[in-house]
Amino acid sequence: MTQAPSHASAFRGRVLVLAGSDSGGGAGIQADIKTITALGGYAATAITAVTVQNTLGVTGVHPIPPDIVEAQARAVLDDIGADAFKTGMLGDVAMVETVVRVLASAPQVPAVVDPVMIAKGGASLLAKAAIGAVRTLMIPRAALLTPNAPEAAALTGLTVETTDDLRRAGEALLALGAQAVLMKGGHVSGDRVIDLLITPQGETSFEGERIDTRHTHGTGCTLASACATGLAQGLSLTESVARAWNYVHEAMLRAPGFGAGHGPLDHGWMVRK
């Protein structure tokens, strides 16, 4: 019998995502899988929580037991492997500690840490008691940390309202152990959005006109997953962030218009172009 050929080479970059599920499909695990696939990578998952949500907000959260989350991750690592991690919604201290154990078990695999704290509709996705655990345990494991302004403020205790504030907070987060920080400027007022990639070697800015749209659900998840895919595929950090930034920008412009609230992006635009 002739053995069927392997098509593993069709996938470049295995990304293991440890994050929550979004029933509306715009953020969380669903956005992560769509993004990684659109960029040519292979997505595997360890789901940390199941949420009840749509474009109007989160109305329920069901955490997955930490031992099951760790078992999901180890099943993937023991068989398929990973070229990058991406973390999202963690929820509480026990989950943070669990995910840190997974990351520590494969220290050669870069981790993109999205410190998810609040859903687009305002629901809390990280217990206040867990912020300290993210600060002391997760940040030192981050090859790239991707906070928005409110998340950076919570992690550093600094006021983050301007681009200069983003820069100061980014430096503070580097001092906490992150290898690099992508400070997202979407919450900073102004006609243009400026994101700053800050590393010990210097700073790179990504700037564009602010898109006037309510369809921004999942932008943070999508950006972080796109960055992780680039790292998994062997791109440099700057190349990974630049491609991710452009991918999210275009996905926002092409948003399908679904829902009555914060609508999802068009994650598949690259596949159809």
Catalytic option among 216, 227, 230, 263: 216
Which among 34, 86, 120, 184 is annotated as catalytic? 184
Contacts of residue 265, Cβ cutoff 8 Å, sequence gap at least 6? 26, 31, 215, 216, 217, 218, 219, 222, 248, 251, 252, 254, 255
From 25, 156, 221, 230, active-site residue:
221
227 has catalytic annotation: no
Active site residue 263: no
* Bridge partners (DSSP) listed for residue 193: 208
Burial class (CB within 10 angstroms; exposed 0-12, middle 13-18, buried 19+) of 236: exposed
* Catalytic entry in 13, 20, 220, 263: 220
- Are 240 and 231 in contact by the 8 Å Cβ rule? The answer is yes
To 10 degrees, what angle do helices 149-156 and 163-175 make? 50
Active site residue 26: no
Structure tokens at 213: 């749209």
Helix (H, G, I), strand (E, B) or coil at 57: strand
Annotated catalytic residue 98: no
Alpha helices per DSSP H over 80-208: 93-104, 128-133, 149-156, 163-175
Task: Give the DSSP H or E segment for 87.
Answer: strand 84-87
Quote the crossing angle between the two packed helices 28-38 and 219-232, to the nearest 10°.
40
Of 24, 26, 170, 218, the active-site residue reads 218
- Strand-pairing partners, residue 49, are 63
Q: Which entry of 35, 48, 98, 219 is annotated as an active-site residue? A: 219
Buried b (16+ CB within 10 A) or exposed e, 198-222: bbeeeebebeeeeeeeebbbbbbbb
Does residue 192 sit in helix, strand or coil? strand
Q: What values do phi and psi take at 204, rounded to 5?
A: -130, 130
156 belongs to the catalytic site: no
Q: Which residues are catalytic?
A: 184, 216, 218-221
